[in-house]
A and B are shown apart, each in its own frame.
Chain A
Amino acid sequence: EIVMTQSPATLSVSPGERATLSCRASQNIRNNLAWYQQRPGQAPRLLIHGASTMATGIPARFSGSGSGTEFTLTISSLQSEDFAVYYCQQYENWPPTWTFGQGTKVEIK
């Protein structure tokens, strides 16, 4: 089983600042990684797939990078609506099963 580990658990950032979130896979997942945003009381929203490809309608301040076992989600200038929990998810497995990281909460500093 591929285990996904996110860090930090909580990130305190001021509006307008840059946020950098990390996700590590327990084995090589190539670029088979997605990132989601989940605001309180809402469903997850796809941000990025293929480690760095933006989903439709996602603002350009979001970007993803990495491959293999180390991945990063960067929010270049935090807006109020970006304070949320972010999850990474791998899709390297076959048969297909998704495993998620435990999430990183981005909170207002």
Chain B
Amino acid sequence: QVQLVESGGGVVQPGGSLRLSCAASGFIFSSQAMHWVRQAPGKGLEWLALISYDASNKYYLQSVKGRFTVSRDNSRNTLYLQLDNLRPEDTAVYYCAQGDRNGYNYGVSWGQGTLVTVSS
């Protein structure tokens, strides 16, 4: 079955960086668009980024463009999210999600998330 396992979260100071990973299995990763979504403590879901199956197209939430970078390594079945210049308001659980057949529409399967805490 589909499995998505995020890692790389932790505590970082404001202005710092982190790289999140999402290890995928149970489907043909190289054929599937992938997404990142976050959830601040006690809040709702916020979509962040999308990367096409071959990384030729990337889309971002406007408010994170220039600070967050999505990438993938299809040889390793792994999705990444580089978080730079982090702010306290970036504190959240970060989820990766497998896109639907089209790739862009909705999240078919989700990982359990990794917690990022931005604090001095």
Total A-B contacts with CB atoms under 8 angstroms apart: 59
Bound-state CA distance A22–B91 (Å) is 29
The verdict on A43 contacting B112 (CB below 8 Å), with A49-B106, A100-B44 known, is yes
The answer to whether B50 touches A96, judged by C-beta atoms less than 8 angstroms apart, is yes
The answer to whether A32 touches B105, judged by C-beta atoms less than 8 angstroms apart, is yes
In this complex, the interface size class of chain A, counting residues with CB under 8 Å from chain B, is 20 to 34
The answer to whether A91 touches B106, judged by C-beta atoms less than 8 angstroms apart, is yes
Closest to A95 in B: B59
By a CB distance below 8 angstroms, the chain A residues around B111 are 43
A-binding residues in B (CB < 8 A): 35, 37, 44-47, 50, 59, 61, 95, 97, 100, 104-113
B-binding residues in A (CB < 8 A): 32, 34, 36, 38, 42-46, 49, 55, 87, 89, 91, 95-103
Closest to B57 in A: A95
